Amino acid sequence: MEFDWDKLKNAENVRKHNVSFYDAQTTFFDRKRVIAIDVKHSTAKEKRYFCFGKVKRKIITVRFTIRGNRIRIFGAGYWREGR
């Protein structure tokens, strides 16, 4: 699979969460990653998911969907316990 994202959304994500989507895509290569369905934001037309994985000693949560043969990232941030 390939990765895809909106450039403006990526810039906003870096500003707000200090995580680029380029770095976020590496969570998918963590052998211990966890992928879960985002029940709250999924619709009948499009399922949404979370990927939790370790990058540079920190856990990143990536919000994404699958469109065709691409993983479309639309949000990412460092895991903060209790939030």
The whole-number pLDDT of residue 83 equals: 47
Cβ count near 13 (within 10 Å)? 22
The whole-number pLDDT of residue 62 equals: 97
The whole-number pLDDT of residue 82 equals: 45
Q: How many residues does the chain have?
A: 83
What residues does each domain of the chain span? Answer: 2-78
Q: Do residues 48 and 37 lie in contact, with contact meaning Cβ atoms separated by under 8 Å?
A: yes
The whole-number pLDDT of residue 56 equals: 84
Cβ count near 83 (within 10 Å)? 5
The whole-number pLDDT of residue 1 equals: 82
At 66, list the tokens: 């699958």
**CATH T-level fold of 2-78:** Nuclear Transport Factor 2; Chain: A, (3.10.450)
Residues of the chain with pLDDT under 70: 81-83
